[in-house]
């Protein structure tokens, strides 16, 4: 491992990170399917077990906390019912600060319930507020962002209402003050994320934003270049699934990284691992190239495990090897 990367990893325990975005509760109901219902042509699932996990921005923060950062806090909105209580409990268990999580009686906690029978997903049930974020909550979110004392900020947008133009304006003020803001985009209009340090779209999202296919290194480089110029960002980290990732930094040659996974069992949450690792190391002083190589190595580890896995700093040191 290079000395600069080792030094950045050593600084993680003193790093302060904020994750701004849409919080979700992922519920899993596991069961067995033995017959079809006589009431309708649907499977009958006999429930064997249930589990709740952090989803959305919560899983990004969970990945950051697993790296051993000194302080990880979430900025988001949840409801006041039992689902909101469960989400906050899971955050507390993961040692993620919830003092900047707004609880509101008029908003539903976003819950995605997956029912699985015999290992196969039978149906997914979504519960969420179907209305825009009220202006009073948007203003509260802006005030919370303005008050953040963070070394680096991640925007984890799932288009559920937290990430809006006023909130991004507040985040751009942080960027102007020297705090790197790294955005994982979801909304089709990428201009929302303009003038930040970095955006980390996947190939499908980037291709849709630029109306172009991203199916080769050359096309990835071209699309990333157009995005970086149009959005006036310092860098673009384009994740490309089995084709690895492409990093484009202002003033540097493009960096194409092949995936490091030899076996793939589950890609769930790999993007969250990438952005958490990349942003943490950027905040700790690593170069974008070193941060991207480490994030690529981290992704190669977590997709070899079932479920939404995370990686520790020790695991990352082992995965990176000599860089």
What confidence tens digit (pLDDT) does each residue in 75-131 have?
A: 999 999 999 999 999 999 999 999 999 999 999 999 999 999 988 889 999 999 988
State the total domains in the chain: 1
Domain assignment present for residue 91? The answer is yes
Q: Give the global pTM.
A: 0.93
Task: Report the b/e string of 70-90 with b at 16+ CB within 10 A.
Answer: ebbbbbbbbbeeebbebbbeb
Residue 9 has pLDDT above 70, yes or no: yes
Mean pLDDT, the chain, rounded, equals: 92
d(CA 213, CA 198): 21
Q: Ramachandran region of residue 211, left (φ > 0), alpha (ψ -120 to 50) or beta?
A: left
* Per-residue pLDDT tens over the stretch 44-84: 999 999 999 999 999 999 999 999 999 999 999 999 999 99
Domain assignment present for residue 41? The answer is no
Give the CATH number of the domain where residue 162 resides: 3.40.1190.20
Q: What is the pLDDT of residue 68?
A: 95
d(CA 172, CA 304): 36
d(CA 93, CA 90): 5
* Per-residue pLDDT tens over the stretch 197-241: 999 999 999 999 999 999 999 999 999 999 999 999 999 999 998
DSSP state of 269: T
| Intra-chain end-to-end CA distance of the chain, in Å | 5
Domain assignment present for residue 38? The answer is no
Domain assignment present for residue 146? The answer is yes
d(CA 121, CA 112): 13
Q: What would the mean pLDDT of 152-181 be, rounded to a whole number?
A: 98
Domain assignment present for residue 155? The answer is yes
pLDDT tier for residue 267 given thresholds of 50, 70 and 90 = very low
Domain assignment present for residue 39? The answer is no
Sign of the CA dihedral with 281 first, then 282, 284, and 287 last: positive
What residues make up the domain containing 293?
A: 3-33+47-320
Q: How crowded is the C-beta side of 294, counted as CA atoms within 13 Å?
A: 31
What count of other Cβ atoms lies within 10 Å of the Cβ of residue 208? Answer: 14
Residue 30: strand pairing partners: 49, 116
Known catalytic residues? 272
- Lowest average pLDDT, out of 168-172, 204-208, 301-305, goes to 301-305
pLDDT tier for residue 6 given thresholds of 50, 70 and 90 = confident
State which H helix or E strand residue 144 sits in: helix 135-146
Domain assignment present for residue 42? The answer is no
pLDDT tier for residue 29 given thresholds of 50, 70 and 90 = very high
Q: Residue 140: what are its φ and ψ, rounded to 5°?
A: -65, -40
**Taking CA 266 as the corner, what is the angle to CA 261 and CA 271, rounded to the nearest 5 degrees?**
75
Domain assignment present for residue 9? The answer is yes
């Amino acid at each position: 491992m290079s000395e600069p990367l080792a030094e950045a990893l050593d600084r993680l325990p003193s790093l302060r990170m904020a994750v701004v975005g849409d919080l979700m509760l992922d519920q899993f109901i596991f069961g067995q399917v033995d017959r079809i219902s006589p009431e309708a042509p649907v499977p009958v699932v006999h429930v064997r077990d249930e589990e709740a996990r952090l989803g959305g921005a919560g899983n990004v923060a969970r990945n950051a906390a697993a790296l051993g950062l000194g302080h990880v806090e979430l900025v988001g909105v949840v409801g006041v019912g039992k689902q909101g209580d469960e989400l906050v409990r899971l955050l507390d268990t993961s040692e993620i600060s919830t003092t900047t999580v707004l609880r509101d009686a008029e908003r539903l906690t976003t819950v995605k319930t997956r029912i699985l029978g015999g290992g196969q997903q039978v149906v997914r049930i979504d519960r969420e507020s179907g209305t825009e974020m009220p202006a009073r909550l948007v203003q509260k979110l802006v005030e919370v962002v303005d008050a953040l004392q963070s070394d680096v900020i991640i925007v984890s947008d799932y288009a559920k209402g937290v990430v809006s133009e006023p909130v991004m304006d507040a985040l751009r003020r942080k960027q102007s003050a020297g705090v790197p803001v790294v955005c994982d985009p979801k909304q089709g209009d990428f201009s929302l994320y303009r003038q930040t340090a970095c955006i980390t779209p996947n190939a499908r999202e980037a291709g849709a934003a630029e109306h172009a296919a991203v199916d080769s290194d050359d096309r990835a480089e071209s699309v990333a270049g157009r995005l970086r110029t149009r959005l006036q960002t310092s860098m673009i980290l384009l994740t490309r699934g089995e084709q690895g990732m492409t990093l484009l930094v202002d003033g540097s040659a493009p960096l194409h990284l092949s995936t490091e996974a030899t076996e793939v069992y589950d890609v769930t949450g790999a993007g969250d691992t990438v952005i958490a690792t990349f942003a943490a190391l950027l905040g700790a002083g690593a170069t974008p190239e070193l941060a991207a190589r480490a994030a690529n190595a981290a992704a190669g580890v977590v997709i070899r495990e079932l479920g939404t896995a995370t990686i520790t700093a020790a695991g990352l040191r082992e995965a990176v090897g000599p860089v």
